[in-house]
Copies of this chain bind each other. A is one copy, B any other.
Amino acid sequence: MSYQIASLSRLVEQLERLPGIGHKSAQRLAFHLLNIPEKSAEDFLEAVRDAREKIHECAVCCNLADQELCPVCRADNRDTGVICVVEDPRDVMALERTREYSGTYHVLHGTISPMDGIGPEQLRIKELLTRVTENDVREIIMATNPTVEGEATAMYLSKLLKPFGIPVTRLAYGIPVGGDLEYADEITLRRSLEGRSRID
């Protein structure tokens, strides 16, 4: 005999599908969503609906955008001659937080991963080639993740871009700032040695 409340179970079940949310957290979120005032609940639902309705991919760089172009492609102070290729819109946010980079981006929306059945045709590679063909691009920075898939994708793209004669660069590998040499893995440390630079 079960004493479950159907609509509560359904809500908990839906919340459990969210990434990183287990059963206990889902219950906690469900009770929260039941207890907040009507106005807050409406704002919450509206934010989900509105974001899903308005957000799509930027016509140029495939980053998320709520207009035809994303905020970076829309800005007139960004250097369109430099394209930084990333896997995911979150990587754009991470790089923007450095306040260092003034070029543009290209979001692949994934990496080549035969294990997951993702080949080059599922990524926004065609769009990147179009940009390179139609615009005056001076440098392409590969900023895919330092994983096997990220590396493979960067290698694949750099070969694909070779005929265009545009310099392709890769983000530096090395020990993270504030990290501890003792705890760095061998591969990172080896790359860090290889990439050492002169102190002037």
Contact = CB atoms under 8 A, between A and B. Distances in A.
Interface of A: 1-8, 10-11, 13-14, 17-21, 25, 27-34, 38, 40-41, 43-45, 47-52, 54-55, 64-66, 70-72, 75, 77, 88-90, 93, 96
B19 A28 contact: yes
B65 A5 contact: yes
Contacts of A31: 88-90
Contacts of A1: 75, 77
B33 A51 contact: yes
- Pairs of residues from A and B, 3 with the lowest C-beta to C-beta distance, nearest first: A3-B71, A11-B51, A14-B47
Summarize A's interface: helix, strand, loop or mixed: helix
Contact of A8 (B7, B32, B51, B96): B51
Nearest to A11: B51
Contacts of A51: 7-8, 10-11, 30, 33-34
A55 B34 contact: yes
A65 B68 CA distance: 46
Nearest to A30: B51
A132 to B, nearest CB: 22
Nearest to A77: B1
